[in-house]
Amino acid sequence: MTEPSHFNEQERADLVAYLDGELTGEAARALEAKLSLDPAARAEADALRRTWELLDYLPRPQPSLRFTHRTLERLSPVRADEQQRQRLWRIRCLGLGWAAALLLAGWTGYAVYNWIVPREPGERQLLQDLRIIENKRLYDRIEDLDFWRALDAPDLFGEDASNS
């Protein structure tokens, strides 16, 4: 049977840290004082220390003689996999590059075409010119610009015009 502990959880954590050389300052001094005054606590600390030393009985397992060789052998598939991934990456980049080049060429062609070939009038333009378009048949009969300007004179038809 294990002896009941003389330490609470925090004290035992401090004790283990003390045995591991991880406890310093006031906490270490308090623990040292407890150990010097309490033989039961000292015995428990001793049991913890001895238990830890028992682990030294465990053999230090050694790797097999061909460990390095076998490990290096396993690199070949890793490298082949990496090269395959690099190839795929290059193909993907190339594909993306071509797609980008095609898009750029298309956009450039469209811009150049718009710059060279005048654009058809838009809807707003057509609405603005609607009255002229509707009366185009009449305007076509006008032979010179002066006559057309004369038509705009308000008193051209005088009184008769308003009466008829």
Give me the 120-159 binding string for another protein, x by CB under 8 A, dash otherwise: ----------------------------------------
**Residue 93 and residue 50: Cα distance in Å, rounded?**
63
Dihedrals phi, psi of 120, to nearest 5 degrees: -65, 145
**Residue 2 contacts another protein per CB under 8 A:** yes
**Residue 60 contacts another protein per CB under 8 A:** yes
Is 20 within 8 Å of 10 (Cβ atoms)? no
Spatial CB neighbours of 51, under 8 Å, sequence gap ≥ 6: none
The alpha carbon of residue 123 and the mean position of all alpha carbons in its chain are separated, in whole angstroms, by 43
**Residue 32 contacts another protein per CB under 8 A:** no
Neighbours of 22 (CB within 10 A): 10
Minimum distance, C-beta of residue 112 to another protein, in the bound complex (Å) = 44
Choose, by CB under 8 A, the member of 8, 25, 72, 141 that binds another protein: 72
Binding site for another protein (CB under 8 A): 1-3, 5, 9, 12-13, 15-17, 20, 22, 39-40, 42-44, 46-48, 50-52, 54-55, 57-64, 67-68, 70-72, 74-75, 78
